Amino acid sequence: MAVHLLISVLIISLASFTYASDPAPLQDFCVAVKDAEAKVFVNGKICKDPNMVSANDFFFPGLNVPGNTSNPLGSKVTPVNVNQLPGLNTLGISLVRIDYAPYGLNPPHTHPRATEVLVVVEGTLYVGFVTSNPADPNVKNKLFTKTLYPGDVFVFPEGLIHFQFNVGKTNAVVFAGLSSQNPGVITIANAVFGSDPPINIDVLTKAFQVDANLKITPCGILIVYVLDIYVEIEPCSLLLMIGMADFCVALKDAEAKVFVNGKICKDPNMVSANDFFFPGLNVPGNTSNPLGSKVTPVNVNQLPGLNTLGISLVRIDYAPYGLNPPHTHPRATEVLVVVKGDVFVFPEGLIHFQFNVGKTNAVVFAGLSSQNPGVITIANAVFGSDPPINVDVLTKAFQVDANVIKYLQGQFWWNID
């Protein structure tokens, strides 16, 4: 009986893991065919003929262009998901730029299919998210908030209601990675009070405990009021790899008594907004090394709130002619934005690189579809392993003289991480 129960628990856990993110790709890439050209309907997009694929299918220009914030909310989201960048199909990640006018608001909303990790480039933002309904009806949903400055990073767990508010007197700009090729967005006020046809008024008066004559309109006009009574809103359930919870903040390895695939969870009662916060990504990395580049990662080791959420972030700095050498991420697709605006996607596990061909410094931010994507720098792994790979293996693999291999193995291979 105990064995059967254990098997059942394992099956449920595997099912939770299976449906917690986009389907895994089964080939190097599956560039999306435009819906109008598709003859078959699938969960996602069907694939373009691989022989017709080009670099432009993985490229999106213009994310340096500010969004138009002249609207009642004073904000504008510019998405780069599979609809704008077809190369993202099956790769489980996307990107957005968000612009905020002074006191502009990205109103309370959810992403039903994605965790979001956000980095502030300009301005001062007050951000927060609300947990789902607690098991105890006498306990309120918990709000986690933080004021962010340029370089700060914050993570919003999948399916939870969250918002950003520009509390400064100047414009603000952020970039954010999301752990789905098409994360979706449900703006709470719009969905509840602006649906077509409208939700039955008896439903809303009972849910929000207000008189039927009270006029509530969409587009965030009464956002403060909505926030005051959000406990009546039930956000989407969040299926996590280890069970059902809003988050699983990682314990430091030194404090963990159990070894698991990932990190074990911190006591939820001990969790604070700081567990979802990382400061300082505005600080340039030190590129005074042989490669002329520096990667500053924000993964689960730096930001414990990312545990189980399937996404992370990096900043990469390049000196003139600096190189991020050929490498792979064994557990993640990477979608990268040059701070000047262009976006490019590198499919999971494929060898890729970046090279600054300009005479000035360059900076990028990138989202990766794993809390701990890993990195394998090809030169370091092949020629700098300890112990070294057998010379006979490498001479045959690279078809060069053994002295060339011995020379390469004798070099110091710089790790830019």
Q: Which residues are annotated as a binding site?
A: 106, 109, 111, 116, 162
Indicate the annotated binding residues for oxalate.
Answer: 106, 111, 116
Indicate the annotated binding residues for Mn(2+).
Answer: 109, 111, 116, 162
Cα Dmax for the chain:
86
